Chains A and B, each alone.
Chain A
């Protein structure tokens, strides 16, 4: 039995709504460009959401302005996904967000002031902890009770969807908003530069010449509902979540194993759970960050699972940048929209396949194929690998 998705919401570098994101995906239009909003002195390519904090506060009509950008982005996406659904006391609602930086966008502003021995505003730190990011979103939406935050680096967003689906399956909740949000920060930019995997040019997933990622920011949320909840809300079922898995690579602190062990396990388990045949997977939305290590390991994992018959696959990170904890949620929504609209998105910036594997991603928009089931991968630091299957089959 699939878990029903009845709402989606995205803010990313390529748009302030799911519709805007879809238009950019179809048009092959990337949102990555030079830094404009973040106070970052270096000339870098980033996938920023094209709105300042002020603009977000205004459009979201926030009264308590002590709020991180991470919460603002999350709230914008969560509201879209929640839509006009009404609260009911006989239905248990919850929210699971995920984030890797939490309120770091404000903490780093504080800390710079602090180091400069100025008069730092300690209240900026009140939004630091990741749990607060979610509580702010929950309180704006009127959700109380089950409020939770996951933080498993780049796989967080998918893990939130997984956990939400399990809560519905076990009847602990009737409806749950699930997703992820991360603001761009100097902390993470500095971090990925220190790992020497930040590409100063456009990221080139699955290309032989790839040298790293471009960071992005954004949020994605999905509304999952039980049949009981749908009977009350009347929301339309957009798509189903059919299978999921999380597995640890347990290979290295940052690098993925060359044999793709954790990734292979995650993909395999998710597909097995879904009961969908390998040949029925129409499209794979890959993690595809553009780092040497991830793309090779992921390619090997795809070969391990699918053999010679790898489905059409692409990474959409050249559109949005790598949005860390939001990535899994945003890409899950891209997967839902692929099914809804029978679309397979191109992997931008690709020219030559990786020598070791020779895999070719999709390079131009495919519109003439039935897309019934999609696999989305999200692999994170510390070997945290998650895969999830969406389809239009219950």
Chain B
């Protein structure tokens, strides 16, 4: 269990520095764009000039979180990313396959997944533990699990977040492989300050996080996660889930409704976030915002089944819980 003391997100929705956004957002449309702040307010110009979209989004959110929480430095930085720095990866693939002679190195350097966490450490001058988890749709939950352990060890504050970026080639792949995507493919970055102790800054409590890779039985996995936390489905005030895969999500829905969760308490977050591997980080930001808006909410479950093989579960509670 740990506390969230700051949250920041740059997405296709007006999430950045916009408390209460969860009340007003609608479905993200195909062809929508990332809503970016003025990055120069958050990132040193010397670092900014080389940064791709995913780096700008992430470093700006990280900086925003540190400012909000008013902490000098987090003890650790933990990032989840499903596909990493796609723009620079694609650029370097193009370069080395087509250019004869010397190759410009910048896109190679910035193609590695840990560029995100590395650039954050460089930007805020942090020398702590610096980790990058990349387990496709569970990357964010893996980062949260690591964070939970760090806070149980010696850390007081951890900067944790997730980011993935859209490149047009993803739509080409989607078409060619006939992948199902009920909503638009998007980019998104959401970061949080996770703290060991409760404080005036506390926005929400993360009671528990779990990942189930190559999941066999979704229903019993959810059930045992809840019972481990002394909760029953009927005590949930809100469930956010990702409804991309009809098969698995059907099972999740059936399990929840059969165990006393009203259908109006179950919200599919994908239409808000759009699809990207770490969209569950958007869901967490959404829930935290919602908890601040609606004092009747206490127990919220985020159920990530974006990929049918993998189940991610995050149990969030209001500060009053």
Contact = CB atoms under 8 A, between A and B. Distances in A.
Interface string A183-200: 000110011011100000
A159 interface: yes
A265 to B, nearest CB: 6
Interface string A381-393: 1111000000000
A380 B146 CA distance: 20
A382 B114 contact: yes
B286 interface: no
A190 B109 CA distance: 11
B136 interface: yes
Contact of A146 (B110, B128, B213): B213
A295 interface: no
Contact of B212 (A139, A145, A163, A383): A145
B45 to A, nearest CB: 15
Contact of B136 (A129, A246, A380, A383): A129
B132 interface: yes
Interface in A247-285: 247-254, 261-262, 265
B321 interface: no
B125 A152 contact: no
Given A146-B213, A195-B105, A250 B96 contact: no
Q: How big is the A interface, by class? A: 35 or more
Contacts of A163: 131, 146
A383 B132 contact: no
Given A131-B134, A134-B135, A152-B131, A250 B125 contact: yes
Contacts of A253: 50, 109-110, 115, 118-119, 122
A125 B131 contact: no
Interface in B227-258: none
B52 to A, nearest CB: 13
Interface in B74-131: 77, 82-84, 92-98, 102-105, 108-115, 117-119, 121-122, 125-131
B177 interface: yes
A135 B214 contact: yes
Contacts of A108: 93, 97
A195 B97 CA distance: 16
Contacts of A250: 121-122, 125-127
A102 B84 CA distance: 11
Contacts of B95: 190
B309 interface: yes
B153 interface: yes
A146 B93 CA distance: 32
Given A125-B173, A248-B118, A381-B114, A132 B211 contact: no
Nearest to A147: B213
A100 interface: yes
B206 to A, nearest CB: 16
B127 A249 contact: yes
Given A151-B84, A248-B118, A187 B134 contact: no
A265 B103 contact: no
A129 B128 contact: no
Nearest to B102: A194
Interface in A118-158: 122-123, 125-126, 128-132, 134-135, 138-139, 143-153
B25 interface: no
A172 B145 CA distance: 10
B94 A115 contact: yes
A236 B129 CA distance: 32
Interface string B304-321: 000001000000000000
A144 B216 contact: yes
Given A167-B149, A381-B118, A193 B213 contact: no
A194 B77 CA distance: 29
Of A139, A187, A251, A252, most B-chain CB atoms within 10 Å: A187
B267 interface: no
Contacts of B102: 194
Interface string B153-181: 10000000000000000000100110000
Contacts of B131: 150, 152, 159, 163, 246
15 contacts: A115-B97, A131-B138, A143-B214, A144-B215, A145-B211, A149-B133, A151-B132, A163-B146, A170-B152, A247-B128, A247-B130, A248-B77, A249-B127, A261-B127, A382-B119
Interface of A: 100, 102, 107-108, 111-112, 115, 122-123, 125-126, 128-132, 134-135, 138-139, 143-153, 159, 163, 166-167, 170, 172, 186-187, 190-191, 193-195, 245-254, 261-262, 265, 380-384
What 5 A-B pairs are tightest by C-beta distance, nearest first?
A: A382-B118, A147-B213, A190-B96, A191-B108, A131-B136
Given A122-B177, A152-B113, A381-B114, 10 more contacts: A111-B93, A123-B177, A131-B138, A148-B133, A152-B117, A170-B149, A190-B96, A248-B128, A253-B50, A384-B117
